[in-house]
Amino acid sequence: MKNYFLIFAVVVSGFLFTGCGYNTIVEMDEAVTSQWSQVENVYQRRADLIPNLVATVKGYAEHEQETLTGVIEARSQATSVKVDPSNLTPEAIQQFQQAQDGVSSALSRLLVVVESYPDLKANQNFLDLQAQLEGTENRITVERMKFNETTQGYNAYIRKFPALLTAKIFGFKTRAYFEASQGAQTAPQVQF
């Protein structure tokens, strides 16, 4: 009986002296959710640029319809994948990332096609859209990095004592990270 009382006293003391950490966990959880929204926001910016890019290329490269259709379909698929920020599992993030990788791949094919059209490469609208797309890709990288940092802080906090007790009691779980796409660690081979 004394052992149970001692354990109870230690736990209660921990809560009294350090706070239960509930409010901190809530704030950190909200920060992860907010940062996830920012990641989705920059991906949406990229998706919003695609119709203008396709329309600009279409005027110059009518017979590249298959490539243009591929970009539009990849965009449609990527924008249909929704991830619940309260359930950021590795599987959900991987599904989201696969859809976004499809867009990246389709855009890469489109930009290869553009190389065959010198007039298009000199078109100011195309150059502006290409610059905006490049800037957006950089923003995506930055926001994904911030998301991982925010998630790391949250995950570490809810795994430390005494916050881990509060997290378990109130059902807070660790969140998944963005990870590099499969094969990203291998440099592509370029052959001329």
Q: Summarize pLDDT for 133-188 with one digit per residue, the tens.
A: 889 999 999 999 999 999 999 999 999 988 889 899 899 999 988 886 655 444 44
Domain span at 68: 19-37+49-170
* pTM beyond cutoff 0.85: no
Q: For residue 4, is it within any domain?
A: no
- CA–CA distances in Å: residue 83 to residues 29, 86, 90, 113, 130: 16, 9, 11, 32, 28
Q: Which residue has the higher pLDDT, 45 or 63?
A: 45
Q: For residue 188, is it within any domain?
A: no
Q: For residue 183, is it within any domain?
A: no
- CA–CA distances in Å: residue 133 to residues 30, 41, 74, 137: 29, 14, 16, 6
Q: For residue 75, is it within any domain?
A: yes
How would you class 164 by CB atoms within 10 Å of its CB: exposed for 0-12, middle for 13-18, buried for 19 or more? middle
Share of the chain above pLDDT 70, in %: 85
Domain count for the chain:
1
Give the residue ranges of DSSP H helices in 61-185.
65-80, 90-114, 118-122, 124-158, 163-170
Q: For residue 104, is it within any domain?
A: yes
Q: % helix / strand / coil in the chain, to the nearest 5?
A: 80, 0, 20
Q: For residue 190, is it within any domain?
A: no
